[in-house]
Amino acid sequence: MQATHDSGSPPPHAARLNPFPWYARMRASDPVHLDPERGGYHVFAYDGVQRVLSDHGCFSSRMGGAGDPISASLLGADPPRHTRLRALVTQAFTPRAVARLAPRISAVVAELLDAAAPAGGMDLVTAFAYPLPVIVIAEMLGIPAEDRARFKAWSDAVVAGGRPDAATMGYGDAQREMGAYFHATLERRRREPGEDLITGLLAARIDGEQLTALELLGFCVLLLVAGNLTTTNLLANAVLSLAEHPSAARRLAAEPDLLPTAIEEVLRYRSPVQVMFRTAVRDLVLEGREIQAGDHVAAWIGSANRDEAHFADAAGFDPARSPNRHLAFGHGVHFCLGAPLARLEAQLALGALLRRWPGLRVVPGTVLEAVASTVVFGPAHLPVEFAPA
């Protein structure tokens, strides 16, 4: 698919799976672009994107209004509030706790692959890449299995931004339903503590302080939406990238120890999150462009990760690329807290998939469509086929 989009605005839906020609043009011609239609700035080059993501003294992450759970989460906080929130959440979300999930993740992967095996094919997104992180996160939060289906409707509506053509449920409805659901869950855990992450978050304290009810709710919603969609699209983008680069797939099959490096290359090459948003808090100059306090800024991570000034053969896919200082998980204080979990899930899932079906391929003639989001990036469906069990 070739994008023909030439304006400074994000590509239309038809070009959304291949925004890279647009990125390249913007990096070369207008790396800090003032959007005449929507207002605000789009930043495309690596150095500019890195600064926008990490310089919280100039670019604020605050968003939304009072009472919005996502705005109350880590995603919508600046230091020092962000520092406090992250310190509290980290107590219940440690690397050791993530590592302990490996056996369960492997078991879920095996169950999903066993279910798909007799058919000789599946929609990789709906049958594998989506249910895996949802099951893992639901179990971390102590959510009953019968409620997992509701997660998908909520997640889809949130990432679609409430566009009526993109989801059956609106953004506001999803926020209200998620809020009511997690509020009830939090209240149950206060009365009946368990061994789950929500119980851990309720117990977390620093200097006697706890997370507020809205902050707890915000983290649950953030983990649901960001935690499952990042891994879903990382897996789908990995399979798609290997299908498009058979020599890289053959090398990975011959050198399985390259899997962690290959996953980092997928994160760079097809970043699951393509853009993050900030607001300038003071007048400043970015890459020669004057930005005023209050201006909205879109930092295009997907473009930064293809910046020729920072990556040799930036448009190529190299499963052994090293170093690989991509920005797929952000940069600075907002570096993704869930990155270790996403990496672990991807390594275990992709490794098992390639070992079981080394001949796996995308069904020939498939016309791919992008997920209904400007932020989250990947195919909405990915039909694959393999030798049946």
173-203 pLDDT, tens digit per residue, is 887 888 888 889 989 999 999 888 888 888 8
pLDDT value for 16: 82
In the predicted structure, residue 2 carries a pLDDT above the cut 60: no
pLDDT level of residue 12 (50, 70, 90 thresholds): low
pLDDT value for 162: 42
Is the domain covering 13-385 a CATH 3.30.1330.10 domain?
Answer: no
235-270 pLDDT, tens digit per residue, is 999 999 999 999 999 999 999 999 999 999 999 999
The domain ranges of the chain are: 13-385
Q: In terms of C-beta density within 10 A (0-12 exposed, 13-18 middle, 19 or more buried), how is residue 141 classed?
A: buried
Q: How far apart are CA 72 and CA 373, in angstroms?
A: 22
Query: Taking the model in full, what pTM does it have?
Result: 0.90
In the predicted structure, residue 14 carries a pLDDT above the cut 90: no
pLDDT value for 33: 97
- DSSP sequence for 46-113: HHHHHHHHH-TTTEE---S-TT-TTTTSGGG--TTHHHHHHHHHHHTS-HHHHHTTHHHHHHHHHHHH
Q: What is the 8-class DSSP label of residue 362?
A: E
